[in-house]
């Protein structure tokens, strides 16, 4: 053992081998993927392209029956070059694996949409740059917020569903001249529907700056003729109370406050004993609630509180809300995953 010691690399477990980038982009590799990728696999790839990064926990709670089955399938997608992954450094414990879209996955999506990968705007280095971005934690937090809604809908006994989920990038592309929300969503609970813009607060933004965004949302409502509620998610109840004071002062000074319905909630209000705590729970308090009102509302109940809102369109067509982009852009993926054996939906231009 002293003269011929065992090398460290021989003690490691089996490392998955991946195709090199040139191999992953060949016709032969794409032909192999055609017989291996399920509709759920393609949904994962499209979600990664839309939302930039998703953790292993987020993907498995949205699309798999168990963490083990999700972990095994993600490992296969990684070995096939469909997704890539990294693990951020944390000072305590171990961070979950973070996944981004890999070149082979981008090629599959581009082919489905009748585009070239360059037309799609994909570059591997740009996709992986989120690993070193100072906005990584914020992006993961926003995606966790929406992923919790998807997981809630999958486990709910009610007819609940997240019917739309736009990323920050898509929102900025269409509304960035006026506002830059962290996301856009639409929730259905039976016959009730509610759409909203999301402002996800990490507790680091100056509250006066957060409140100042209301003027932009008022300008968007005036320009589009559509009244869209604004949901503001804060980390603690103390932070929420301070934010509500700053928001109320600015909100009352708007020309028509009714065009910007606002509700706030705090992550600390979620029930830790719940199997699937989510923003769909009774944690929301409208900004125009009567003084002394402490009754929190479920997400779907806000549609009845703001009864002057028009029912959201069921169409997923982006032109309903925004003008065409100069770049051919695929429609946002359906937030709810397909079952593993369901047929692939037709691609839309």
One domain, residues 289 and 149: yes
Predicted local confidence at residue 18, as pLDDT: 67
Q: How many domains, the chain?
A: 2
Residue 167: give the domain boundaries: 137-320
Identify whether 330 is part of a domain.
Answer: no
Who contacts 254 (Cβ-Cβ below 8 Å, separation ≥6)? 214, 215, 218, 260
Q: Is residue 348 within 8 Å of residue 330, measured between CB atoms?
A: yes
One domain, residues 125 and 141: no
What is the Cα gyration radius of the chain? 22
One domain, residues 17 and 128: yes
One domain, residues 311 and 162: yes
Residue after which a domain boundary falls, among 114, 132, 150: 132
Q: State how far the Cα of 269 lies from the Cα of 22, in Å rounded to an integer.
A: 49
Q: Is residue 245 within 8 Å of residue 231, measured between CB atoms?
A: no
Burial string for 200-215 (b: 16+ CB within 10 Å, else e) reads: bbeeeeebeebbebbb
Predicted local confidence at residue 22, as pLDDT: 56
Identify whether 282 is part of a domain.
Answer: yes
Q: Is residue 73 within 8 Å of residue 80, measured between CB atoms?
A: no
One domain, residues 156 and 195: yes
Residue after which a domain boundary falls, among 81, 110, 132: 132
One domain, residues 211 and 273: yes
Q: State how far the Cα of 257 lies from the Cα of 250, in Å rounded to an integer.
A: 9
Predicted local confidence at residue 348, as pLDDT: 38
Predicted local confidence at residue 99, as pLDDT: 98
Identify whether 237 is part of a domain.
Answer: yes
Identify whether 345 is part of a domain.
Answer: no
Predicted local confidence at residue 26, as pLDDT: 82
Predicted local confidence at residue 347, as pLDDT: 41
Q: Is residue 81 within 8 Å of residue 24, measured between CB atoms?
A: yes
Predicted local confidence at residue 23, as pLDDT: 58
Residue 323: both structure tokens together:
């003008």
Predicted local confidence at residue 323, as pLDDT: 42
One domain, residues 127 and 42: yes
**At 285, which helix (H) or strand (E)?**
strand 285-286
Q: How many CB atoms lie within 10 A of CB 302?
A: 21
Identify whether 205 is part of a domain.
Answer: yes
Q: State how far the Cα of 25 lies from the Cα of 17, in Å rounded to an integer.
A: 16
DSSP string, 8-69: GGGGS-PPPP---HHHHTSHHHHHHHHTT--HHHHHHHHHHHHHS-EEHHHHHHHH-SSHHH
Q: State how far the Cα of 239 lies from the Cα of 251, in Å rounded to an integer.
A: 18
Residue after which a domain boundary falls, among 74, 103, 132: 132
One domain, residues 87 and 63: yes
Who contacts 236 (Cβ-Cβ below 8 Å, separation ≥6)? 203, 266, 267, 268
pLDDT tens for each residue of the chain, 349 residues long = 466 666 655 555 455 566 665 556 788 888 999 999 999 999 999 999 999 999 999 999 999 999 999 999 999 999 999 999 999 998 988 999 999 999 999 999 999 999 989 999 999 999 999 999 999 999 999 999 999 999 999 998 888 999 999 999 999 999 989 999 999 999 999 999 999 999 999 998 999 999 999 999 999 999 999 999 999 999 999 999 999 999 999 999 999 999 999 999 999 999 988 888 999 999 999 998 877 667 899 999 999 999 878 777 654 445 445 444 445 566 789 999 996 444 444 443 3
């Amino acid at each position: 053992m002293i003269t011929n010691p065992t090398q460290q690399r021989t003690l490691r477990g089996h490392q998955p081998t991946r195709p090199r980038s040139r191999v992953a982009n060949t016709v032969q590799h794409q032909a192999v993927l055609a017989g291996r990728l399920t509709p759920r696999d393609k949904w994962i790839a499209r979600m990664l392209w839309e939302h930039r990064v998703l953790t292993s926990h987020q993907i498995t709670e949205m699309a798999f029956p168990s963490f083990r089955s999700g972990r095994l399938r993600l490992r296969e997608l990684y070995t096939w070059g469909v997704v890539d992954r990294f693990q951020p450094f944390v000072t305590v414990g171990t961070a979950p694996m973070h996944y981004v879209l890999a070149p082979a996955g981008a090629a599959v999506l581009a082919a489905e949409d009748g585009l070239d990968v360059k037309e799609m705007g994909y570059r591997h280095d740009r996709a992986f740059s989120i690993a070193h971005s100072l906005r990584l934690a914020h992006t993961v937090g926003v995606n966790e917020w929406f992923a919790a809604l998807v997981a809630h809908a999958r486990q709910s006994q009610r007819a609940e569903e997240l019917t739309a989920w736009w990323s920050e990038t898509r929102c900025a592309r269409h509304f960035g001249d006026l506002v830059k929300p962290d996301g856009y969503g639409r929730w259905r609970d039976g016959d009730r529907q509610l759409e909203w813009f999301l402002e996800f607060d990490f507790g680091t933004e100056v509250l006066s700056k957060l409140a100042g965004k209301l003027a932009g949302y008022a300008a968007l409502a005036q320009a589009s003729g559509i009244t869209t509620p604004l949901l503001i998610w804060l980390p603690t109840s103390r932070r929420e109370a301070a934010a509500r004071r700053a928001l109320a002062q600015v909100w009352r000074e708007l020309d028509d406050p009714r065009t910007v319905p606002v509700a706030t909630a705090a992550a600390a209000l979620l029930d830790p004993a719940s199997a699937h705590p989510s923003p769909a729970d009774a944690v929301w308090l409208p900004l125009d609630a009567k003084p002394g009102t402490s009754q929190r509302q479920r997400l779907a109940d806000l549609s009845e509180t703001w009864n002057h809102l028009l029912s959201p369109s069921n169409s997923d067509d982006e032109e309903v809300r925004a003008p065409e982009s100069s770049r051919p852009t695929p429609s946002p993926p359906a937030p709810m995953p397909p079952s593993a054996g369901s047929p692939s939906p037709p691609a839309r231009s």
